[in-house]
Structure 1
């Protein structure tokens, strides 16, 4: 298992553990809510029975005990008859009344007549619980009640708690990931610049040795010396690439076709003759490019294409554009072993590789160069296992005569 897959496995494991904790918390809270709800219904029943006893008992001591029991109930309730007329309320707003009274009497009692308030509360109680039926003073009455404030708060508490925890974890994870990425970037930038610095001296020496060999052996026109010189220049470009990491590169206007053609011509003579190369497309498209970094992108894509081809095959590079979207498309197609659809995004993650000796950084760097430095996009446009893959680079077009082709 590569490091990226291992990291993803740990993330999924932690997520599953968090889900288990959240589920356990919700289950336990639900258990408490059910028990408290049952307890409140029991208290409502006791309160209803106490009201019945108050109206039917003549025993003063027993009556005072029953009144104490009734008044100890904290469950909000309304008693109505079978016709729906309200007879008594408990635990509701004491500044309101449902009985139409004399204005002066209402003022003395510091109350207001608000029948709509009690109707609303009654409807809410009907929706919450089934009524408790009692018979009092020869009349069949219905006792409606609603959950207490404590029970309502307890019902929503786990969701509030989980939301706060989730927000905290997201903020903490984002901050931690950002800090870790920043540290990793600083390490990679330092390593890249140090590599460029270390390569500078031997590259300069190699260039000087080539000049001396040409003069000593009169080999100015020797094709082997020309190829050696091209390779040394390529090393110089590689060192220049590493020196640019961590800083914003300068983009210059170039013909996309010509830049791609120059690199393909250099690259194809350094791979097996069993692999053929074909470059097609619009020659007039212009885009902002940093050639050393863009060549690095092409090198990674072409190397991956070559590695994907087992034996004989072909690599085709096609350049097209969209006038409407003002974009340039560069499609690199190979006849290699292909990529499963489930891996279309994974291939750009650091550490992902199908080769035993690979580091899995090529496509990750490629995506970074295109997205961050060229303000473009790169994706797996199409792939079929056993038939081949097409990678697409999308860049912003800088000309107005872009032909619309797919």
Structure 2
């Protein structure tokens, strides 16, 4: 049977690959547009620089007006400096920082006035973006002037746009995936709840009949103390518990204070006689620690962990359950340790996902249900505490210790 988790993982990688192709194509095309617009702006800046030179090589009024018109048509922000770095002209900058028009009319002698810090910052940006355009203006005290310019607002926005676009798409996809996943999980939960309750309903009648048949056997054969019939009765009662478990799925279980040690011991006593005698069981820890537990569901948790441990042990081995408390955190730690084949560290999280199994006939639901019963129904935690290939695995369950609560109530 193919592993649905692996198939799901492949689809995720495939979708990620196509997303990267789309994103890369978008970035490459945007880069192509940016390069072409940048070349166009460079050409326009060169034209503007040439008009500056033309201004000072002709005094014909008609030509001069035309040159000023062409020069002022440049939308690219630009600054003209002499060889010393003093600003001569500017174009397309923040008018609020320039005090007066720094482009004087022909024949004007008034020196330009500007905000030094603002123009220094603008020049720094322009020098970082593009090489200056050098123009010859001999006859005006300098041999050369330098035209510095920066990207227009349109080009700047175009450079940033693909990243904004991809961010918006990523957020949209994340929200859509989250909504889709939530909807899918809700549908799956409804199916599982319906299936579980129907299973419990279907088991009810034959279980009642089996109990009646057992009582009839005891009376007919005078076998009230027969150990075989007693074990048979225990198994039928176990079926009752299983049916009760399924009937509780989908509804909020009632948690009652129980001794964690006693609950686990009762189940281990039942379970241990039904597996190979080559596997030994041991329970250690504090017998008086109490937690809010729904016994049928918590038995299911322990059953799944013990069954996984038994399946992991291929030779004679042992399973140990240790119960301890952390008073500082008001928590109870339940460690289930086996001497089985172990779990790779990369699978510590994967083992709790539905559909993951290492057995040919497994459904991969045991640990997934276990995690749900611990975290959703008992408000606790479960995780792989430690594992080493060939040596064994330790699962840890964390529950809230309610012993301190009762002590504090009695003291008050």
- TM (norm. structure 1) is 0.92
Q: Are 2:226 and 1:222 equivalent residues in the alignment?
A: yes
C-alpha separation in 2, matches of 1:100 and 1:63: 19
- Asked if 1:205 corresponds to 2:209, the answer is yes
> Which runs of 5 or more structure 2 residues have no equivalent in the other structure?
103-112, 406-412
Task: Describe the superposition over 1:263-315 as per-residue Cα deviations: whole angstroms up to 9, x where unpaired.
Answer: 00000000111111111111121111100000001110111111111131111
Alignment-derived partner of residue 343 in structure 1: 347
Tell me the equivalent position of 1:302.
306
Identify the range of structure 1 (360-369 vs 278-287) with the bigger mean alpha-carbon deviation.
278-287
Alpha-carbon distance in 1 for matches of 2:63, 2:171: 55
Query: 1:95 and 1:230 mapped to 2: Cα distance?
Result: 91
Match of 1:24 in 2: 25
Which of 291-300 and 317-326 deviates more? 317-326
- 1:70 paired to 2:74: no
Partner of 1:175: 179
Q: Write the deviation string for residues 80-126 of structure 1: whole angstroms up to 9, x where unpaired.
A: 1223322111122346535599xxxxxxxxxx975554444333323
Aligned to 2:392: 388
User: Secondary structure, in 3 states, of the residue corresponding to 2:56?
Assistant: helix
Secondary structure in 2 matching 1:56: coil
Residues matched between the structures, number: 392
Equivalent position of 2:41 in the other structure: 40
Partner of 1:404: none
Deviation at 1:384, TM superposition (A): 1.1
Question: Do structure 1's residue 398 and structure 2's residue 402 form an aligned pair?
Answer: yes
What RMSD, in angstroms, separates the aligned Cα atoms of the two structures? 2.1
- Aligned counterparts, 1:154-173, within 5 A: 154-173=158-177
Cα separation, 2, equivalents of 1:58 and 1:350: 86
Corresponding residue for residue 85 of structure 1? 86
Residue in 2 aligned with 1:108? none
1-side partners of 2:134 and 2:403: how far apart? Answer: 83
Contact 1:81 1:141 in 2 (8 A): yes
Check if 1:313 corresponds to 2:317. Answer: yes
Residue from 320, 333, 336 that aligns with 2:337: 333
Q: Is the CA contact 1:203–1:236 (under 8 Å) kept in the aligned structure 2?
A: yes
CA shift, 1:250, in A, is: 0.6
Partner Cα distance (2:392, 2:87) in 1: 79
**Which ranges of structure 1 fall in alignment gaps of 5 or more residues?**
102-111, 402-406
Aligned counterpart, 1:187: 191
Q: Does 1:369 align with 2:370?
A: no
Paired with 1:199 and 1:82, the residues of 2 have a C-alpha distance of 97
Provide the residue aligned with 2:50 in structure 1.
49
Aligned residue runs from structure 1 range 91-102, under 5 A: 91-94=92-95, 97-98=98-99
